[in-house]
Amino acid sequence: MVNAIDSALLKMQGITKTFPGVRALIDVDLTLGHGEVLALLGENGAGKSTLIKVLSGAHQPDSGSVSVNGEAVEIRQPADAERYGIAVIYQEFNLIPALSVTDNVFLGNERCKRRLVVDRTVQNQLVTNLLEKIGVDLDPDRLVKDLTVAQQQTVEIVKALSRNASILVMDEPSAALSHKEVDRMCATVDELREQGMGIIYISHRLDEIDRLADRVSILRDGCHIATMSAKDVERDELIELMVGRKLENEFPERRVEVGEPRLTVDNLRQSNRSEPVSFEIRRGEVVGLTGLVGAGRTELARVLFGADPHVDGKLSLDGKPLRLKDPREAIAAGICLLTEDRKEQGLILGLSVRENFGLPNLDQFNRAGLLRQGEERAAFEKYVDKFNIRVPHSEQRAGYLSGGNQQKVVLAKWLFRNTEVLLFDEPTRGIDVGAKFEIYQLINELAAAGKAILMISSELPEVIGMSDRILVMREGAIEGEITDMKSVTQEAILSLAMGEG
C-alpha cells in the first residue's frame, strides 16, 4: 500500500460545520491514500455522517478545504463529487426496485446510440465487465427487487465504478448482511483496494475493522481525536478513544439467580409445513436466539407477540395458558417486542419522543377522553433520567435521535406498562459501542428485576457475551441449545446454524 500521507488521494482539512445550536464538525482533518481502506469510527452523533455529507456535496462546510490528488476542489453539490470521482454508498440504497441491474447502474448516465436511443447491449456488457472486475456473478437483467441486500450493495458498487469513482465511502455496509455475505463483501473491498481505489469504511463492527482497515480515524463530539495504523491499536484503546472513557469490558458482568419459567413455548408451529418449536425463558434469564438470515428468528418473535398467527402449539405465561390474537393482547399480558427495524416499526419518526412514548400507554394518560400531556411528559422524563436518553427536550422529533437513544425510547414506552417478557430483535443494530454498552447494562438491569428476555441477534460475540443460554435456529426450527457458556465458540454456533452440529 502506498503511504497515505506521502501520496494522498483525498485530503479534507479544517472542516467545520455548524447547524442551529449544534457544532457538528470542529476543524476536522481526514486523509485517504490510493489503495487504502480508512475506517472512520465514532459514536452516533460524533460527526461521521456530517463529514461524509460535506464530502458528497450534500452539506457545505462553514470553513475548511478539500483536495483530490493534490488539487483543491470545491464540492457544492453531489454532481461535483461525482465529477471528482467520489461515490457514497449509504445504508439505504439509492436504487429503483422495478428496474434491472443495468438500468439502475446507468440511470442518468445512459450509454446511447444515435438519436438518443439507449444501447442496452453496450450497457449490459459494461456491467458484466465491472462485475467480473470485482469477482461477482450477477445477471445484469435481473430486477433489483429480486436481489438480496448483498446483491443490491454490489449494484451500488458497480454504479460507482461505472462513473469512474476513485474514492468510495461505505456507510455501515454490513448492517443487514449474513456472515457469508459479509465475507463476500470483504473480498470485494479487498479487490477494490488492490485496484487502487481509496475506501472510507464506516462501521460499528470492530471485527470488520480488524479485518479490513489499513488505518483508523476517530471522531468524537465533532472533533478529530486520532488517526493511526489499524495494526498498532488494540480494540480496548479504540473503544476508549471513541467513547471518551474506559470500558473495562465490552459486555457488562451480570450475576442474576435464574428463577422459575415465565414464558413457555410448547410445540409451536408457525405453519403446517414448519417444525414444532419448544423452549422456555425463566425469570431473570437472557436467552439468546441466533441463526443465519432466513432461519425464522423474527417470524418466531412476531408469533410470540401476537402479530402473526400460529397453527398449533401452546403458549403459557407464569404457568397460565396464553392465547394471543393480536399484539394488543400480548401487550395486555405483559409481552413486548422491540422490533428489528425500530425506524419503520418501533417509532413514528415524525412524532416527538413524548408522543412515541405515550402511544401504547394512552389509557394511562386519558382522563374523560382528554390526553393529559403534562402527566405523559412527566412519566417520560423519568425514563430520560433512568436510561440516560440524550434528548434536548421531550418534544424533540424521534427521527433526530441517534440509534441508541431511539432504542432507549422504544424500551421506555414498553417498560412503563410493567412489561414482564421482553423480545429484543437485533437490539444493537446500527448502534455505536458506547450506546451498545448502555443497552447491555439496561438488559442486565431488567434481568435482575426478574424480567424474562429473549435476545435475537446476528452478532455472535453479543450473543455469547450476553446470554445465559443460546438457542440456534435453522429453517424455522430450533437446531440446538447451548448451555455451556464458558466454552462456547462462534464456530460451534455457526456449525449448528448450518446444520452441521
Q: Give Cβ neighbours of residue 266 (< 8 Å, ≥ 6 apart).
A: 278, 313, 314, 315, 316
Residue where a domain terminates, one of 216, 243, 270: 243
Q: What CATH number did the domain enclosing 180 receive?
A: 3.40.50.300
pLDDT confidence bin for 2, thresholds 50/70/90: very low
3-state secondary structure of 417: coil
Among the residue ranges 137-141, 222-226, 325-329, 437-441, the one predicted with the least confidence is: 437-441
Domain co-membership, 162 together with 302? no
User: In this predicted structure, what is the pLDDT of residue 501?
Assistant: 59
Domain co-membership, 329 together with 192? no
Residue 68 has pLDDT above 90, yes or no: yes
Q: What is the CA radius of gyration of the chain?
A: 24
Domain co-membership, 388 together with 289? yes
Residue 307 falls inside a structural domain: yes
* pLDDT (mean) for 61-78: 95
Model confidence pLDDT, tens digit, residues 343-400? 788 899 999 999 999 998 888 888 888 888 999 999 999 989 888 888 888 999 998 8
Q: Give Cβ neighbours of residue 337 (< 8 Å, ≥ 6 apart).
A: 301, 302, 304, 305, 307, 327, 330, 423, 425
**How many Å apart are CA 290 and CA 298, to the nearest integer?**
10
* pLDDT (mean) for 287-306: 90
For residue 277, what are the β-bridge partners?
A: 268
Domain co-membership, 233 together with 291? no
State the alpha helices, DSSP H only, in 57-178. Answer: 78-83, 101-105, 120-133, 149-162
Residue where a domain terminates, one of 193, 216, 243: 243
Residue 2 falls inside a structural domain: no
Model confidence pLDDT, tens digit, residues 112-149? 877 778 888 899 999 999 999 888 889 999 999 998 88
Residue 248 falls inside a structural domain: no
* Integer angstrom CA distances of residue 368 from 35, 356, 363, 364, 374: 67, 21, 11, 12, 15
User: In this predicted structure, what is the pLDDT of residue 4?
Assistant: 42
Residue where a domain terminates, one of 243, 269, 290: 243
Residue 119 falls inside a structural domain: yes
Residue 327 falls inside a structural domain: yes
**How many Å apart are CA 392 and CA 245, to the nearest integer?**
22
User: In this predicted structure, what is the pLDDT of residue 5?
Assistant: 43
Residue 255 falls inside a structural domain: no
Domain of 220?
8-243
Domain co-membership, 336 together with 363? yes
- Angle, CA 392 vertex, CA 387 and CA 394 arms, to 5°: 75
User: In this predicted structure, what is the pLDDT of residue 232?
Assistant: 87
* pLDDT (mean) for 179-185: 84
Domain co-membership, 211 together with 315? no
pLDDT confidence bin for 250, thresholds 50/70/90: confident
* pLDDT (mean) for 182-198: 91
Residue 227 falls inside a structural domain: yes
User: In this predicted structure, what is the pLDDT of residue 6?
Assistant: 46
Residue 265: phi and psi, rounded to 5, are -115, 120
Q: Do 216 and 209 form a contact (C-beta atoms < 8 A)?
A: yes
Domain co-membership, 322 together with 425? yes
Residue 3 falls inside a structural domain: no
Q: Do 269 and 311 form a contact (C-beta atoms < 8 A)?
A: yes
Q: Do 10 and 167 form a contact (C-beta atoms < 8 A)?
A: yes
Domain co-membership, 223 together with 307? no
Model confidence pLDDT, tens digit, residues 139-169? 999 999 998 888 998 999 999 999 899 999 9
**How many Å apart are CA 312 and CA 382, to the nearest integer?**
41
Among the residue ranges 53-62, 295-304, 359-368, the one predicted with the least confidence is: 359-368
Residue 451 has pLDDT above 90, yes or no: yes
Q: Other CB atoms closer than 10 Å to residue 35's CB: what's the count?
A: 18
pLDDT confidence bin for 435, thresholds 50/70/90: confident
* pLDDT (mean) for 274-285: 93
**How many Å apart are CA 213 and CA 199, to the nearest integer?**
9
Name the residue with higher pLDDT: 367 or 230. Answer: 230
Domain co-membership, 212 together with 277? no
Number of domains in the chain: 2
Model confidence pLDDT, tens digit, residues 369-378? 888 899 999 9
User: In this predicted structure, what is the pLDDT of residue 21?
Assistant: 67
The one-character DSSP state at 276 is: P
Domain co-membership, 130 together with 211? yes
Name the residue with higher pLDDT: 412 or 243. Answer: 412
Domain co-membership, 180 together with 56? yes
Domain co-membership, 128 together with 66? yes
